[in-house]
Amino acid sequence: MKKILYYTARDMSIPTEGITKKIWYQIHALESYGYLVDVVYRKNNEDLIIRKDDQEKIIKHGMRRPYKVEASRFLRYYLRKHSYEGIYIRYVFDDPQFQRLLKQLKKSKTRILIEIPTYPYDTELKDNLENKIVLLLDRMYRNRMKKYVDGIAAISNKKEKEIYGIPAFEIKNGVNFDEICIAERNDKSRDCINLIAVAGFAKWHAFERVIHGMGRYYRKSNPKKIVFHLVGDGPEQQTYREYIKKYGLEEKVILYGFKSGEELTDIYNTADIAVSSLGMHRIGFTTGQTLKSKEYGAKGLPIISEYLVEEYPKGAQYQMLVPMDESPVDMEKVVAMYEQLSKSDLQMQRELIRSTVKEVADIKAVMRPVVEFFEEKKQRRKR
């Protein structure tokens, strides 16, 4: 059995967080292909953990910021006594310690694959002084990776064949469809149109565009009732509260806070249409690979987005595109979308959306190029 190491400097303390779930999805997908996967990650901020055979062991306790520097240093110590045929590194930007780690891995003849979760990413690192310093270091060192790294897996729609002088291929975000049940519309919600958004409420979600649109919409006479279910928390939550109060939408925009498990399933079962990110333009993107759009697809829900979600079935009734700007969402168009959907069988619609998205967004399909990357080296050795 091929033995590989999955390394991320991310804190994995909260298993229900979106990115943490994605990482575990990737790991379990690799295991489903027959790989023995050990995992190194942070927990409780200051502990560096190795997980082997579903058992956790602390490699380093009392880590200090910046954590990625500490993690790289202590992982080098660990790797002096432990070897792997391949390593999958979730990239957290380059620096001198990361260069030393790569150099050590190359000497041990470990096949090195780096995942860049968002590429290009420079525009994401200009919002504060700490990130500007991280970006400065990254720019100084990232072009040196080509001496050590065998491949880059990039979540990008640019389809680059090479990044920083290293052979590259595209992978997408994905979810584990086996863990996500299709949404079942309940009878209690049939007197209105129910929108749902589930997220960590960051600036690129821009859900206030829906709230602004609802504020305008409810000024009209005899509007069809629309309710917006906002599930999650995050830095933009207070902004949403202020606009809800401004427009008097307290009974029409519901803030649930973070929900998971059966509670989240019950809220999904009220939904007619899901709302994906409406502010990707704020961080310089004209398209995206959000995890949540894949989850909405697994739920079988049509979506509203400001970029085309390519995995969805073709047809305007399954996704509504809004302009890539700060304009309020046109709720009359939302009503028209709902009425168009109402003309055909609900269950068939949801099954079509789910099955179509699953073909490319199920995590096993997503990780297939990674498996092929590691297997490519294995086949070369056999020859």
- Laid out side by side, the sheet with 253-257 consists of 253-257, 226-232, 193-199, 273-275, 303-305, 319-321
229 strand-pairing partners: 196, 254
pLDDT of residue 306: 95
pLDDT average, residue stretch 136-165: 91
Half-sphere exposure of 357 (CA within 13 A, CB side): 31
Closest by CA to 51, choosing from 25, 17, 24, 89, is 24
Q: Percent of the chain at pLDDT above 90?
A: 71
Q: What is the band of 15 on the pLDDT scale with cuts at 50, 70, 90?
A: confident
Tokens found for residue 273:
């249409």
Instruction: Quote the pTM value.
Output: 0.84
pLDDT of residue 285: 81
The beta-carbon contacts of 344-348 under 8 Å, at least 24 apart in sequence, are 346/185
User: Same topology for domains 3-171+367-382 and 178-361, yes or no?
Assistant: yes
3-state secondary structure of 31: helix
**Residue 72 in this model has a pLDDT that exceeds 50:** yes
**Residue 332 in this model has a pLDDT that exceeds 90:** yes
**Residue 50 in this model has a pLDDT that exceeds 60:** yes
Distance CA 24, CA 77 (A): 25
**What angle is formed at CA 107 by the lines to CA 10 and CA 47, rounded to 5 degrees?**
25
**Residue 321 in this model has a pLDDT that exceeds 50:** yes
Write out pLDDT tens, residues 227-275.
999 999 999 999 999 999 999 999 999 999 999 899 999 999 999 999 9
Q: What is the band of 382 on the pLDDT scale with cuts at 50, 70, 90?
A: very low
CATH architecture of the domain 3-171+367-382 equals 3-Layer(aba) Sandwich (3.40)
**Residue 383 in this model has a pLDDT that exceeds 50:** no
197 strand-pairing partners: 230
Write out pLDDT tens, residues 285-294.
888 878 899 9
- Laid out side by side, the sheet with 151-154 consists of 55-60, 47-52, 36-43, 3-11, 86-90, 111-116, 151-154, 166-170, 162-163
Q: Considering only 38-52, 66-80, 328-342, which range has the smallest mean pLDDT?
A: 66-80
Distance CA 251, CA 241 (A): 12
CB atoms within 10 A of CB 155: 17
Which position has the token pair 């680059």?
160
**Residue 381 in this model has a pLDDT that exceeds 50:** no
| H/E run at residue 305 | strand 303-305
Distance CA 322, CA 305 (A): 6
**Residue 201 in this model has a pLDDT that exceeds 60:** yes
Enumerate the domain spans of the chain.
3-171+367-382, 178-361
**Residue 55 in this model has a pLDDT that exceeds 70:** yes
Q: Considering only 202-206, 241-245, 340-344, 373-377, which range has the smallest mean pLDDT?
A: 373-377
Say which CATH topology domain 178-361 has. Rossmann fold (3.40.50)
CB atoms within 10 A of CB 264: 17
pLDDT average, residue stretch 343-369: 95
